[in-house]
Structure 1
């Protein structure tokens, strides 16, 4: 069966302060995207109706926080390969951080649903000539099934076609070689440009090692 590609929504919402490059991460619009119902479908899973995109709202905040935490923190996150449990304890985000992303101008926080359940999310932010991709989380038990690469491909399409972005940027903890390798297979390049991890800011976790930093990855959107 031919898959139908879900489309990201097309508008923006109100502003709030820039989140740190880590942890928090991204986007949402309003009305023209069908009042909160998922658009089309992403045929990535063995279900009759594959996952669909919709803009996240304030009502989604508790579920989004739970999803992000489950993908990266604690023993439950070990069910998937994106876990950071070996390098970071504590929280990865909080309700205030997620709401800030939802309300940020030139940004979208996208909820991905399957069978009426939240299964993934991602941030997409317009930053002039490029877009920023972040707050990417997939339910641990669904990781490795191809959903993630479909989401990032649609985010790239949207950034290129709707915003005219020439590149996609993201920051990844530099010791996460497995995660960086996954992005490299999607066409991303390590730049060698690094930024400091927010040590001492418990909103972004409690590091178990002292060598954490973020590396910028980029991809040209031709």
Structure 2
């Protein structure tokens, strides 16, 4: 989906995703992380993972789960960013964060993550936001640190062999937990 420069300056609105958003959400997430199209932005994982980042079933699973939702940012009715939010007691989990590649680097991600944190804090009373990031994504981790997230050193293995998460191009992938007080 092309977003004209004038549209990129239009007002940003937020809403919860619905089932009818699934195809657009899959396209948005895939465009931000995988394949050559993702190289238009700085969040690409194309050099470390091939294959899919998510699929329609994975997005529906989040939407239908009792503790989660997907938040969408729109400009002129078009989705330009999204994330998964999951209520986990005193914390919330932030995942599946995607910003349309050609709009990255202009402050949209910063505004969007602030809105996600507000939703977790005000709607769920969450005291912390948790996320996991592939540990070799140093530039992305630094971006989150500038937003107040701290590295915990707590690692979980990458699900090698499960192509629902992509096809690893390196043998050293693992996830690190990042945490921010809300």
Q: Which residue of 2 aligns with 1:74?
A: 35
Deviation of 1:209 (Å): 0.3
Q: How does 1:14-163 map to 2 (within 5 A)?
A: 46-47=9-10, 50-163=11-124
Alignment check: 8 A CA contact 2:87 2:124 kept = yes
Alpha-carbon contact 2:71-2:116 (below 8 Å) kept = no
Secondary structure in 2 aligned to 1:111?
A: strand
Task: Report deviation, 1:215.
Answer: 0.1
CA–CA separation in structure 2 for the residues paired with 1:152 and 1:95: 23
Q: Where does residue 3 of structure 2 map in the other structure?
A: none
Alignment root-mean-square deviation, CA:
0.9
Structure 2 CA distance for aligned equivalents of residues 201 and 124 of structure 1? 23
Q: TM (normalized to structure 2)?
A: 0.94
Alpha-carbon offset, residue 165 of structure 1: 1.0
In structure 2, the residue matched to 1:183 is: 144
Quote the residue 1:213 is aligned against. Answer: 174
Q: Secondary structure at the match of 1:135?
A: strand
Give the structure 2 partner of residue 36 of structure 1: none
Taking the aligned partners of 2:63 and 2:43, their CA distance within structure 1 comes to 23
In the other structure, the counterpart of 1:195 is: 156
Q: In the aligned structure 2, how far is the partner of 1:94 from the partner of 1:46?
A: 29
2:137, 2:67 → 1: CA distance?
A: 28
The SS at the match of 2:132 is: strand
Kindly state the Cα deviation for residue 212 of structure 1 after the two structures are TM-superposed: 0.1
* Unaligned runs of at least 5 residues, structure 1: 1-44
SS in 1 for 2:87: strand
Of stretches 69-78 and 104-113 in structure 1, the one that deviates more from structure 2 is 104-113
Q: How many residues align?
A: 175
Unpaired runs of 5+ in structure 2?
A: 1-7
Give the TM-score normalised by the residue count of structure 1. Answer: 0.77
**Relative to total residues, which structure has the larger helix share, 1 or 2?**
2
Q: Deviations over 1:135-171 (max 9, x none)?
A: 1000000001101111111111121122111111000
